[in-house]
Structure 1
Amino acid sequence: MKKPAPELEPDANPASVARSIVLRQLTNSPKSRHQLAQKLAERNVPADVAESVLDRFVEIELIDDAEFAQLWVRSRAQNRSLARGALKRELAEKGIAPELAEEALAQISDEDERDSAAELVRRKLRGSMNLADRAERDKYTRRWVAMLARKGYNPSAAFAVVGSLIDEQLESETPQ
């Protein structure tokens, strides 16, 4: 069970408490303004104080949602192989404005996304799989397309990537 957020000390300056919370949060990793506002609300910082503290942090560029979105997309696309669909959802959850999200997502091309999907499926391909067997091929197609869907890839692109990799695998196994 989650313990309740601590109340602000009655004699504590809410602005300095808010500043220290924001600084502590930003020390761990970049955060969006929305995430920081949520953290301040959890700690019972008055909304007007939180707003002014966050405005000041934006002003001095310690909070920058556009830069956060760019970093988030780059990192999650490289490290987690997420597609634009999943990244767009994550950015929305973090309170990033749709136009900033679109700018950040523009750094991933269709070709990058296709290459990433193909790499994910290649890691799953094994020589011991009998993809010439229709039932076996269908089973792995379903698994791999589902894996790609969980990572935000669009179904038609996922089926195309999986199909072409299975075809490549079958061609490489066929004696010349």
Structure 2
Amino acid sequence: MTSREQKIAQLKEAIAGFTPGQFDQEAEEAKAAVRRRALGLLDVRARSRQELRERLIEAEFEPVVVDDVLDDLAAVNLLDDAAFAREWVRQRHARRGKSTRVLEQELRQKGVDSATRAEALEQIDAADEEATARALAEKKARTIREAPADRAETDKALRRIVGVLARRGFPQGMSLRIAREALEERIAGLG
């Protein structure tokens, strides 16, 4: 039985064993405030469990109450690190051109465990990553208005294209190769 299934079973057992008079009004009011804040944060964008926990504790809610609310949200699938990681990778790779290396670092910073990170990153294969890098390099190369006059200007243009790829975390060798190809294509198109 998984941890999630155990928690659901515990919750069902607690509900079955509930009798009138056991309701703790004060505890429920504390959870309601945390729940409102958590749902407000989740309404803005999906978040990892750790990220949401940190935000709620920063808002000076009691850690025990925060953990209870997060467990409740996870039990009803409003908080799911695997779904969060898959969507994060899909969007950031497609819209921002981020490499798998950078995406892995971002997910780690958000508290997503290594197995979940690896599973989410499987969406991107080497061909996808290279196609994204090529599109970014070609876009940057299009900003060159005239063919470089000498080697120094060529190197400067190449550094700019490689810089775009490096900032997004693409491997150095691949970045240099793709940048050279994009620059050569642009220069040939200008000539």
Distance 2:27 2:103 in 1: 42
Provide the C-alpha distance between the structure 1 equivalents of 2:190 and 2:36, rounded to a whole number of angstroms.
61
1:67 corresponds to which residue?
83
Q: Show the counterpart of 2:107.
A: 91
| CA-to-aligned-CA distance 1:53-72 (integer Å, 9 cap, x gap) | 10111111110000000101
SS of 1:13's partner is helix
Q: CA deviation at 1:130?
A: 1.6
Change (3 A) 1:173 1:27: closer
Name the SS of the counterpart of 1:135 in structure 2.
Answer: helix
Gaps of 5+ in 1: 1-9
Of residues 181, 184, 187 in structure 2, which corresponds to 1:164?
181
Q: Deviations over 1:135-165 (max 9, x none)?
A: 1221111111111111111111100111222
Aligned counterparts of 1:39 and 1:50: Cα–Cα separation in 2? 10
Aligned equivalent of 1:41, options 36, 46, 57:
57
* Contact 1:131–1:166 (CA under 8 A) maintained in structure 2: no
Counterpart in 2 of 1:51? 67
CA offset at residue 171 of structure 1? 4.7
Tell me which structure has the larger Cα radius of gyration: 2
Structure 2: which 5+ residue stretches go unaligned? 1-25
Q: 1:30 aligns with which of 43, 46, 61?
A: 46
Deviations 1:11-35 (A, max 9, x none): 9932111111111111111111111
- Alpha carbons of structure 1 residues 60 and 12: separation in structure 2 relative to 1, 3 Å: closer
1:161 maps to a residue whose letter is I
Q: What RMSD, in angstroms, separates the aligned Cα atoms of the two structures?
A: 2.0
Query: What code does the residue aligned with 1:163 have?
Result: R
> Does the 8 Å contact 1:34/1:95 carry over to 2?
yes
Which SS does the other structure have where 1:128 is aligned?
coil
CA contact (8 A) 1:33 1:64 kept: yes
Q: Percent identity?
A: 33
1:100–1:12 CA distance, 2 compared to 1 (3 A): closer
**Alignment check: 8 A CA contact 2:147 2:187 kept:** no
Count, aligned residues: 165
Does the aligned pair in 1 maintain the 2:165–2:175 contact within 8 Å?
A: yes
- The aligned runs of 1:79-158 (5 Å cut-off) are 79-126=95-142, 128-131=145-148, 133-158=150-175
TM superposition shift of 1:173: 5.5
